[in-house]
Structure 1
């Protein structure tokens, strides 16, 4: 099984959210339908970056690193790795 680490963007609130999941399509739908408390106020969300990792542990490590990035560093990261 592979795991996804992703960054989504909400133009409505000009905000980024970083997460990890085993099913990216389902997770994005949950964000956009308001099922996730942390992102329900920003729908619709757009997927702006994602990658896969072979284990959940690796996905969690990368998610933690991404969540520690400032907004400016997040934008730089997306531009560099897209």
Structure 2
């Protein structure tokens, strides 16, 4: 069975990048190796893997990646720190603004 990963890396400028891959180690090495000069992480190297989640279903992985990409920094940091229970409250605060 193939495994897919949704991951977050912390860039050298303290920003976060969220991605999706079927080979996590290779992908992180590509980010740090500067394989694609047009990529977001190219000028923000080195990057450090701070979160990943495994999926057996490629569609679920893609959906989760898109969801995280729409999140603010506080929500991303909540899952990075394994504080999933904070997500509903952080979502409420966003809706009030």
Scaled by the length of structure 1, the TM-score of the pair is 0.90
The structure with higher relative contact order (CA 8 Å, sep 6+) is 1
User: Which residue does 1:8 correspond to in 2?
Assistant: 9
Greater strand content? 1
Please identify runs of 4+ aligned residues in structure 1 that moved more than 6 A.
Answer: none
Match of 2:66 among 64, 67, 74: 64
Deviations 1:24-47 (A, max 9, x none): 000000000111312101111000
Return 5+ residue gaps in structure 2 as ranges. 85-97
| CA root-mean-square deviation | 1.1
Return 5+ residue gaps in structure 1 as ranges. none
Count of paired positions: 80
Q: Distance in 1 between matches of 2:9 and 2:3?
A: 19
Greater helix content? 2
